[in-house]
Amino acid sequence: MRDGFSVGVLAEKYKNVDGVLVISASALKEVSLVTDPAIASAKVAVAASEPEDSESEASAEEAETTTPTTQGENEMESTPAVPEAAAEAVEASKVVTATETPRPLYFTTPRSPIQTPGAYLEHTIKAKMGNEDSRQYVAAADDSFSTNPAFSPVSYVRDVATNTTLIRPTIDACGGSRPLNSYGMTVSIPKITANSTAATVAEGGDPTGTTAITSAYVNATVIKKMGFQRYSVELLDRSDPSFYEIMLQNLRDAYAQATDEYVIAQITAGGTQATAVAADSAGIISFVSKESAAAYSATKRTATAYVAGVSQWSLLMGATDTTGRPIYNAIQPMNAAGTTSPTSLRGNVMGLDLYVDANMVSTTIDESAFIIEPRSIEIFESPALTLSANVPTSGEIELALYGYIAAGVTFAGGLRRFNLT
């Protein structure tokens, strides 16, 4: 099966002739049989066998020496006879039992013909069919990451997985925020508490029977929302350059979520609880029709926004009429009451602008939706600021992102809170 003759030598005298290493003296360290010898004519007929007659013995004697062979400019001297100890080992390998397999004294991984994926597949199939040569070729071609873990570097991407966001649906539904003055911890919002009245007055009559306006202040307390990060100077100096931007963006997202939740809490505390309805399509129709009219009665302005938590959003997308047709989520609806879509956080519910807010309560319960007349709440906010400081004792850096916000409900009747039956 392997008739190529290979020698393992320790070069003692050698020189480089036109890029070819010419060895003139060496110490023989091992011999082995290979599939493809370096010199094509280095072949042997028999490696080890039981002599059957004198002719076989003569052939074995001839195999002990070889004549000089020339291939190009390389010359190989006559190979000396196998040392006595090695010869004894070869003789010993002749006697084997039925269950034993003779093993060579020295083994070299065969030169594999596998150079392409197609060749690898071919020899993989042949190896499974029992071809010993193919089995060794496939074994020699094992370059999986399990055997070469040093050549399996970790691949990092720059996009960071996160579930935070800068959007603030409830604040947007309220018309956004107004700039906050740079002083004071209370914002006083003037409000007309009683409107003047007008009446029919006769010529030269007394108008004092009419009512004059009265006013008061709605006070909103200024609060601070802050996020904090502490990291080592090594992380700043030796990490990916995008670390600082990612960290700062994460703090901004957290600040946006905190301020949005704060406004939700103010509407919950200062708004008007709606008439109780069921958590179904009929309940939503009742909620919108009754509470939109109530908001107009209280403020003399129409409501414009419907803010829903994710559970209410799911309820809207799944709402159907008595025939099973979608009400808010149809491609070509004939009885549409608005539009909601799984791919958009904005839509329309019976004429009100829909805002989906993940910061609302997560189930369809009380406060899971608001109907908002924007001028019924005032929101004041400062720019978000950053503050950094070094900690010399630990070699760390502290970074804070913070801002001030104040929200005050001016007309409770313009903020209608969903009330579950």
Q: What is the mean pLDDT of residues 18-40?
A: 83
Q: What is the mean pLDDT of residues 15-29?
A: 83
pLDDT(151) > 70: no
Scored b (16 or more CB within 10 A) or e, 167-198 reads bbbbbbbbbebeebeeeeeebebeeeeeeeee
Q: What is the mean pLDDT of residues 204-213?
A: 83
Give the tens place of pLDDT for each residue, 312-354: 999 999 988 888 888 887 666 666 788 888 889 999 999 999 9
Percent of the chain with pLDDT over 70: 79
C-beta of residue 294 within 8 angstroms of C-beta of residue 393: no
pLDDT(138) > 60: yes
Q: What is the per-residue pLDDT for 87?
A: 45
Task: Region of 227 please: left (phi>0), alpha (psi -120 to 50) or beta.
Answer: beta
**Sequence letter at residue 392:** P
pLDDT band at 4 (very low <50, low <70, confident <90, very high): confident
pLDDT(142) > 50: yes
Residues 6 or more apart whose Cβ sits within 8 Å of residue 298: 272, 376, 411, 412, 413, 414
Q: What is the mean pLDDT of residues 230-254?
A: 85
The residue with greater pLDDT, 109 or 326, is 326
Q: What is the per-residue pLDDT for 135?
A: 84
pLDDT band at 62 (very low <50, low <70, confident <90, very high): low
CA dist 5 and 21 (Å) reads 19
pLDDT(273) > 80: yes
C-beta of residue 244 within 8 angstroms of C-beta of residue 392: no
pLDDT band at 257 (very low <50, low <70, confident <90, very high): very high
pLDDT band at 93 (very low <50, low <70, confident <90, very high): very low
Residues 6 or more apart whose Cβ sits within 8 Å of residue 109: 136, 140
The residue with greater pLDDT, 335 or 23, is 23
Q: What is the per-residue pLDDT for 24?
A: 86
Q: What is the mean pLDDT of residues 124-140?
A: 84
C-beta of residue 209 within 8 angstroms of C-beta of residue 199: yes
C-alpha distances in Å from residue 211, one per residue of 192, 198, 207: 13, 7, 9
Q: What is the per-residue pLDDT for 376?
A: 97
Q: What is the mean pLDDT of residues 379-401?
A: 89
Q: What is the per-residue pLDDT for 340?
A: 86
CA dist 350 and 316 (Å) reads 11
Placement of tokens 């004294």 in the chain: 105
Q: What is the mean pLDDT of residues 98-108?
A: 48
pLDDT(35) > 90: no
Q: What is the mean pLDDT of the chain?
A: 82
pLDDT band at 18 (very low <50, low <70, confident <90, very high): confident
